Structure 1
Protein backbone atom coordinates (compact mmCIF):
# COMPACT_ATOMS: atom_id res chain seq x y z
CA UNK A 1 0.00 0.00 0.00
CA UNK A 2 1.52 3.29 -1.08
CA UNK A 3 1.70 6.44 0.98
CA UNK A 4 -0.79 8.14 -1.36
CA UNK A 5 -3.35 5.35 -0.81
CA UNK A 6 -2.81 5.54 2.95
CA UNK A 7 -3.43 9.31 3.02
CA UNK A 8 -6.45 8.88 0.76
CA UNK A 9 -7.79 6.17 3.09
CA UNK A 10 -7.20 8.32 6.21
CA UNK A 11 -8.98 11.25 4.51
CA UNK A 12 -11.92 9.00 3.49
CA UNK A 13 -12.19 7.66 7.03
CA UNK A 14 -12.02 11.25 8.34
CA UNK A 15 -14.98 12.08 6.05
CA UNK A 16 -16.81 8.92 7.13
CA UNK A 17 -16.32 9.97 10.79
CA UNK A 18 -17.89 13.33 9.96
CA UNK A 19 -20.73 11.54 8.13
CA UNK A 20 -21.30 9.19 11.09
CA UNK A 21 -21.55 12.15 13.46
CA UNK A 22 -23.91 14.01 11.11
CA UNK A 23 -26.13 10.93 10.75
CA UNK A 24 -26.16 10.55 14.53
CA UNK A 25 -27.39 14.14 14.97
CA UNK A 26 -29.98 13.77 12.20
CA UNK A 27 -31.32 10.55 13.75
CA UNK A 28 -31.32 12.18 17.21
CA UNK A 29 -33.22 15.27 16.01
CA UNK A 30 -35.70 13.23 13.97
CA UNK A 31 -36.45 10.84 16.81
CA UNK A 32 -36.97 13.81 19.13
CA UNK A 33 -39.23 15.67 16.69
CA UNK A 34 -41.25 12.60 15.74
CA UNK A 35 -41.69 11.68 19.44
CA UNK A 36 -41.10 8.02 18.79
CA UNK A 37 -42.19 5.54 21.47
CA UNK A 38 -39.45 4.21 23.72
CA UNK A 39 -39.66 0.71 22.27
CA UNK A 40 -38.62 2.01 18.81
CA UNK A 41 -35.34 3.53 20.07
CA UNK A 42 -33.41 0.22 19.76
CA UNK A 43 -34.78 -0.20 16.22
CA UNK A 44 -33.66 3.31 15.27
CA UNK A 45 -30.23 2.68 16.83
CA UNK A 46 -29.86 -0.56 14.91
CA UNK A 47 -30.86 1.18 11.67
CA UNK A 48 -28.30 3.91 12.38
CA UNK A 49 -25.49 1.43 12.94
CA UNK A 50 -26.39 -0.58 9.83
CA UNK A 51 -26.34 2.56 7.67
CA UNK A 52 -23.08 3.77 9.28
CA UNK A 53 -21.40 0.39 8.81
CA UNK A 54 -22.44 0.20 5.16
CA UNK A 55 -21.15 3.75 4.59
CA UNK A 56 -17.77 3.07 6.22
CA UNK A 57 -17.16 -0.17 4.39
CA UNK A 58 -18.21 1.29 1.02
CA UNK A 59 -15.72 4.13 1.50
CA UNK A 60 -13.09 1.64 2.68
CA UNK A 61 -13.63 -0.51 -0.40
CA UNK A 62 -13.38 2.57 -2.60
CA UNK A 63 -10.23 3.95 -1.01
CA UNK A 64 -8.05 0.87 -0.33
CA UNK A 65 -9.99 -2.20 -1.50
CA UNK A 66 -11.28 -2.97 2.01
CA UNK A 67 -8.02 -3.39 3.93
CA UNK A 68 -8.52 -2.69 7.63
CA UNK A 69 -5.56 -0.99 9.36
CA UNK A 70 -5.16 0.84 12.65
CA UNK A 71 -4.96 4.26 10.97
CA UNK A 72 -8.50 3.70 9.60
CA UNK A 73 -9.92 3.82 13.13
CA UNK A 74 -7.68 6.79 13.88
CA UNK A 75 -9.07 8.66 10.83
CA UNK A 76 -12.67 7.87 11.80
CA UNK A 77 -12.05 8.95 15.41
CA UNK A 78 -10.50 12.25 14.27
CA UNK A 79 -13.45 12.82 11.91
CA UNK A 80 -16.03 12.17 14.66
CA UNK A 81 -14.18 14.45 17.11
CA UNK A 82 -13.85 17.17 14.47
CA UNK A 83 -17.56 16.92 13.69
CA UNK A 84 -18.71 17.15 17.32
CA UNK A 85 -16.27 19.99 18.02
CA UNK A 86 -17.12 22.22 15.06
CA UNK A 87 -20.10 21.05 12.96
CA UNK A 88 -22.74 19.56 15.26
CA UNK A 89 -24.62 22.82 15.96
CA UNK A 90 -24.76 23.70 12.27
CA UNK A 91 -26.11 20.27 11.28
CA UNK A 92 -28.72 20.28 14.07
CA UNK A 93 -29.91 23.76 13.02
CA UNK A 94 -29.99 22.75 9.36
CA UNK A 95 -31.98 19.60 10.21
CA UNK A 96 -34.48 21.60 12.27
CA UNK A 97 -34.88 24.14 9.44
CA UNK A 98 -35.37 21.31 6.95
CA UNK A 99 -38.02 19.74 9.21
CA UNK A 100 -39.83 23.10 9.47
CA UNK A 101 -39.74 23.50 5.69
CA UNK A 102 -41.11 20.00 5.14
CA UNK A 103 -43.87 20.52 7.73
CA UNK A 104 -44.77 23.91 6.20
CA UNK A 105 -44.82 22.39 2.72
CA UNK A 106 -47.03 19.54 3.94
CA UNK A 107 -49.44 21.98 5.59
CA UNK A 108 -49.50 24.14 2.46
CA UNK A 109 -50.30 21.14 0.24
CA UNK A 110 -52.94 19.89 2.70
CA UNK A 111 -54.61 23.33 2.86
CA UNK A 112 -54.43 23.68 -0.92
CA UNK A 113 -56.07 20.29 -1.42
CA UNK A 114 -58.67 21.19 1.19
CA UNK A 115 -59.54 24.53 -0.41
CA UNK A 116 -59.32 23.40 -4.04
CA UNK A 117 -60.93 19.95 -3.79
CA UNK A 118 -62.58 19.11 -0.50
CA UNK A 119 -64.37 22.37 0.38
CA UNK A 120 -65.85 22.87 -3.13
CA UNK A 121 -67.14 19.28 -3.13
CA UNK A 122 -68.68 19.74 0.33
CA UNK A 123 -70.14 23.11 -0.72
CA UNK A 124 -71.58 21.61 -3.90
CA UNK A 125 -73.10 18.77 -1.90
CA UNK A 126 -74.68 21.19 0.59
CA UNK A 127 -75.97 23.41 -2.22
CA UNK A 128 -77.48 20.38 -3.95
CA UNK A 129 -79.18 19.30 -0.73
CA UNK A 130 -80.56 22.81 -0.19
CA UNK A 131 -81.84 23.08 -3.78
CA UNK A 132 -83.40 19.62 -3.69
CA UNK A 133 -84.99 20.38 -0.31
CA UNK A 134 -86.38 23.65 -1.66
CA UNK A 135 -87.72 21.95 -4.80
CA UNK A 136 -89.32 19.23 -2.66
CA UNK A 137 -90.97 21.85 -0.44
CA UNK A 138 -92.26 23.71 -3.52
CA UNK A 139 -93.53 20.44 -5.01
CA UNK A 140 -95.38 19.55 -1.78
CA UNK A 141 -96.80 23.06 -1.57
CA UNK A 142 -98.02 22.95 -5.19
CA UNK A 143 -99.39 19.45 -4.66
CA UNK A 144 -101.47 20.65 -1.71
CA UNK A 145 -102.71 23.67 -3.64
CA UNK A 146 -103.72 21.48 -6.61
CA UNK A 147 -105.51 19.06 -4.26
CA UNK A 148 -107.32 21.93 -2.55
CA UNK A 149 -108.35 23.36 -5.90
CA UNK A 150 -109.52 19.98 -7.21
CA UNK A 151 -111.36 18.95 -4.06
CA UNK A 152 -114.50 21.01 -4.82
CA UNK A 153 -114.56 19.57 -8.34
CA UNK A 154 -114.17 16.11 -6.87
CA UNK A 155 -117.02 16.72 -4.43
CA UNK A 156 -119.17 18.13 -7.25
CA UNK A 157 -118.37 15.07 -9.44
CA UNK A 158 -119.38 12.80 -6.57
CA UNK A 159 -122.59 14.77 -6.04
CA UNK A 160 -123.42 14.68 -9.77
CA UNK A 161 -122.79 10.95 -10.03
CA UNK A 162 -124.73 10.07 -6.88
CA UNK A 163 -127.95 9.33 -8.77
CA UNK A 164 -126.04 7.03 -11.08
CA UNK A 165 -124.76 5.09 -8.10
CA UNK A 166 -128.29 4.02 -7.28
CA UNK A 167 -128.71 2.32 -10.65
CA UNK A 168 -125.22 1.00 -11.28
CA UNK A 169 -123.12 -1.09 -9.01
CA UNK A 170 -119.68 0.43 -8.52
CA UNK A 171 -116.82 -2.07 -8.63
CA UNK A 172 -115.17 -2.78 -5.30
CA UNK A 173 -111.72 -1.62 -6.44
CA UNK A 174 -113.15 1.77 -7.47
CA UNK A 175 -114.83 2.18 -4.09
CA UNK A 176 -111.54 1.35 -2.33
CA UNK A 177 -109.64 3.78 -4.56
CA UNK A 178 -112.06 6.59 -3.85
CA UNK A 179 -111.98 5.78 -0.13
CA UNK A 180 -108.17 5.87 -0.16
CA UNK A 181 -108.15 9.20 -2.00
CA UNK A 182 -110.53 10.72 0.52
CA UNK A 183 -108.50 9.32 3.43
CA UNK A 184 -105.26 10.75 2.02
CA UNK A 185 -106.92 14.10 1.47
CA UNK A 186 -108.22 14.21 5.03
CA UNK A 187 -104.79 13.32 6.42
CA UNK A 188 -103.13 16.06 4.42
CA UNK A 189 -105.58 18.84 5.11
CA UNK A 190 -107.06 18.03 8.49
CA UNK A 191 -103.95 19.33 10.31
Structure 2
Protein backbone atom coordinates (compact mmCIF):
# COMPACT_ATOMS: atom_id res chain seq x y z
CA UNK A 1 0.00 0.00 0.00
CA UNK A 2 1.36 3.40 -0.95
CA UNK A 3 2.25 5.98 1.66
CA UNK A 4 -0.28 8.54 0.36
CA UNK A 5 -3.04 5.92 0.62
CA UNK A 6 -2.02 5.19 4.20
CA UNK A 7 -2.03 8.91 5.05
CA UNK A 8 -5.48 9.34 3.48
CA UNK A 9 -6.73 6.29 5.40
CA UNK A 10 -5.20 7.63 8.61
CA UNK A 11 -6.94 10.99 8.15
CA UNK A 12 -10.27 9.33 7.29
CA UNK A 13 -10.13 7.07 10.34
CA UNK A 14 -9.08 10.00 12.56
CA UNK A 15 -12.08 11.95 11.22
CA UNK A 16 -14.21 8.91 11.99
CA UNK A 17 -12.90 8.99 15.56
CA UNK A 18 -13.88 12.65 15.79
CA UNK A 19 -17.35 11.82 14.44
CA UNK A 20 -17.76 9.04 17.00
CA UNK A 21 -16.77 11.48 19.76
CA UNK A 22 -19.37 13.98 18.53
CA UNK A 23 -22.04 11.27 18.42
CA UNK A 24 -21.13 10.11 21.91
CA UNK A 25 -21.30 13.64 23.34
CA UNK A 26 -24.68 14.14 21.67
CA UNK A 27 -25.89 10.86 23.14
CA UNK A 28 -24.59 11.89 26.58
CA UNK A 29 -26.49 15.19 26.45
CA UNK A 30 -29.69 13.47 25.30
CA UNK A 31 -29.42 10.86 28.03
CA UNK A 32 -28.79 13.55 30.65
CA UNK A 33 -31.71 15.62 29.37
CA UNK A 34 -34.32 12.85 29.25
CA UNK A 35 -32.96 10.65 32.09
CA UNK A 36 -34.46 7.37 30.83
CA UNK A 37 -34.81 4.32 33.08
CA UNK A 38 -32.02 1.75 33.10
CA UNK A 39 -33.63 -0.60 30.56
CA UNK A 40 -34.03 2.13 27.94
CA UNK A 41 -30.49 3.34 28.74
CA UNK A 42 -29.13 -0.16 28.16
CA UNK A 43 -30.93 -0.49 24.83
CA UNK A 44 -29.78 3.00 23.78
CA UNK A 45 -26.18 2.14 24.73
CA UNK A 46 -26.39 -0.98 22.60
CA UNK A 47 -27.81 1.03 19.69
CA UNK A 48 -25.04 3.63 20.02
CA UNK A 49 -22.34 0.97 19.88
CA UNK A 50 -23.99 -0.72 16.91
CA UNK A 51 -24.12 2.61 15.07
CA UNK A 52 -20.50 3.38 16.06
CA UNK A 53 -19.36 -0.04 14.84
CA UNK A 54 -21.25 0.48 11.57
CA UNK A 55 -19.65 3.89 11.04
CA UNK A 56 -16.18 2.53 11.82
CA UNK A 57 -16.75 -0.42 9.47
CA UNK A 58 -17.95 1.86 6.69
CA UNK A 59 -14.92 4.14 7.17
CA UNK A 60 -12.61 1.12 6.98
CA UNK A 61 -14.30 -0.11 3.81
CA UNK A 62 -14.09 3.34 2.20
CA UNK A 63 -10.58 4.09 3.44
CA UNK A 64 -8.59 0.94 2.74
CA UNK A 65 -10.99 -1.80 1.62
CA UNK A 66 -11.36 -3.12 5.15
CA UNK A 67 -7.71 -3.85 5.86
CA UNK A 68 -7.25 -3.68 9.60
CA UNK A 69 -3.75 -2.47 10.41
CA UNK A 70 -2.13 -1.09 13.53
CA UNK A 71 -2.16 2.51 12.26
CA UNK A 72 -5.96 2.25 11.93
CA UNK A 73 -6.24 1.77 15.71
CA UNK A 74 -3.76 4.59 16.28
CA UNK A 75 -5.77 6.85 13.94
CA UNK A 76 -9.08 6.09 15.68
CA UNK A 77 -7.61 6.72 19.13
CA UNK A 78 -5.90 9.88 17.87
CA UNK A 79 -9.15 11.21 16.43
CA UNK A 80 -11.16 10.53 19.58
CA UNK A 81 -8.41 11.92 21.84
CA UNK A 82 -8.01 15.05 19.73
CA UNK A 83 -11.75 15.66 19.79
CA UNK A 84 -12.03 15.23 23.56
CA UNK A 85 -8.94 17.32 24.20
CA UNK A 86 -9.71 20.18 21.81
CA UNK A 87 -13.41 20.38 21.00
CA UNK A 88 -15.58 18.34 23.36
CA UNK A 89 -16.16 21.10 25.89
CA UNK A 90 -17.17 23.59 23.19
CA UNK A 91 -19.34 21.09 21.36
CA UNK A 92 -21.16 20.19 24.61
CA UNK A 93 -21.97 23.87 25.17
CA UNK A 94 -23.16 24.15 21.57
CA UNK A 95 -25.35 21.04 21.68
CA UNK A 96 -26.90 22.07 25.02
CA UNK A 97 -27.64 25.51 23.57
CA UNK A 98 -29.19 23.89 20.47
CA UNK A 99 -31.39 21.62 22.60
CA UNK A 100 -32.51 24.59 24.71
CA UNK A 101 -33.33 26.48 21.52
CA UNK A 102 -35.31 23.51 20.20
CA UNK A 103 -37.18 23.34 23.52
CA UNK A 104 -38.03 27.03 23.35
CA UNK A 105 -39.16 26.71 19.74
CA UNK A 106 -41.34 23.73 20.68
CA UNK A 107 -42.89 25.69 23.57
CA UNK A 108 -43.49 28.72 21.34
CA UNK A 109 -45.01 26.53 18.61
CA UNK A 110 -47.39 24.98 21.14
CA UNK A 111 -48.44 28.41 22.39
CA UNK A 112 -49.02 29.70 18.85
CA UNK A 113 -51.05 26.58 18.02
CA UNK A 114 -53.20 27.00 21.14
CA UNK A 115 -53.68 30.71 20.45
CA UNK A 116 -54.42 30.25 16.74
CA UNK A 117 -56.46 27.03 16.77
CA UNK A 118 -57.69 25.95 20.19
CA UNK A 119 -58.81 29.29 21.63
CA UNK A 120 -60.95 30.29 18.61
CA UNK A 121 -62.65 26.89 18.61
CA UNK A 122 -63.28 27.15 22.35
CA UNK A 123 -64.69 30.67 21.87
CA UNK A 124 -67.06 29.50 19.12
CA UNK A 125 -68.26 26.54 21.20
CA UNK A 126 -68.84 28.72 24.26
CA UNK A 127 -70.58 31.37 22.16
CA UNK A 128 -72.85 28.77 20.58
CA UNK A 129 -73.88 27.47 24.01
CA UNK A 130 -74.42 30.95 25.47
CA UNK A 131 -78.12 31.24 24.51
CA UNK A 132 -78.86 27.87 26.10
CA UNK A 133 -76.96 28.71 29.30
CA UNK A 134 -78.65 32.13 29.48
CA UNK A 135 -82.12 30.62 28.98
CA UNK A 136 -81.43 27.87 31.50
CA UNK A 137 -80.26 30.38 34.09
CA UNK A 138 -83.30 32.62 33.57
CA UNK A 139 -85.68 29.67 33.79
CA UNK A 140 -83.98 28.48 36.96
CA UNK A 141 -84.30 31.95 38.53
CA UNK A 142 -87.96 32.15 37.50
CA UNK A 143 -88.66 28.70 38.99
CA UNK A 144 -86.94 29.63 42.27
CA UNK A 145 -89.06 32.80 42.53
CA UNK A 146 -92.30 30.91 41.83
CA UNK A 147 -91.49 27.99 44.11
CA UNK A 148 -89.48 29.17 47.11
CA UNK A 149 -88.00 26.46 49.30
CA UNK A 150 -90.04 25.47 52.36
CA UNK A 151 -89.13 27.23 55.59
CA UNK A 152 -86.97 25.27 58.00
CA UNK A 153 -88.89 23.44 60.72
CA UNK A 154 -89.02 25.25 64.00
CA UNK A 155 -87.31 23.54 66.79
CA UNK A 156 -89.24 22.87 69.96
CA UNK A 157 -87.66 24.14 73.18
CA UNK A 158 -86.15 21.43 75.36
CA UNK A 159 -88.46 20.15 78.16
Shorter-normalised TM range: 0.7 to 0.9
> Which residue in the other structure is 2:80 paired with?
80
- The structure with the largest helix share of the pair is 1
Determine the C-alpha separation between the residues in 2 that align with 1:45 and 1:130.
56
> Which residue in the other structure is 1:107 paired with?
107
> Which residue in the other structure is 1:17 paired with?
17
* Contact 2:13–2:75 (Cα < 8 Å) also in 1: yes
Determine the C-alpha separation between the residues in 1 that align with 2:137 and 2:25.
66
Residue 71 of structure 1: CA displacement? 0.5
TM-score, L = length of structure 1:
0.70
Q: Which moved more, 1:7-16 or 1:120-129?
A: 120-129
Does the alignment pair 1:97 with 2:110?
no
> Which residue in the other structure is 2:33 paired with?
33
Q: Which of these two proteins has the greater Rg computed from alpha carbons?
A: 1
Determine the C-alpha separation between the residues in 2 that align with 1:128 and 1:62.
67
Secondary structure of the corresponding residue to residue 36 of structure 2: coil
TM-score, L = length of structure 2:
0.83
Aligned residue pairs: how many? 146
Residue 39 of structure 1: CA displacement? 2.0
Determine the C-alpha separation between the residues in 2 that align with 1:137 and 1:41.
57
Moved over 6 A (4+): none
Secondary structure of the corresponding residue to residue 28 of structure 1: helix
Residue 137 of structure 1: CA displacement? 6.2
Residue 135 of structure 1: CA displacement? 4.8
Determine the C-alpha separation between the residues in 1 that align with 2:92 and 2:107.
22
Describe the superposition over 1:67-107 as per-residue Cα deviations: whole angstroms up to 9, x where unpaired.
11110000000111101111111111111011011111111
Q: Give the gaps of 5 or more residues in structure 1.
A: 145-186
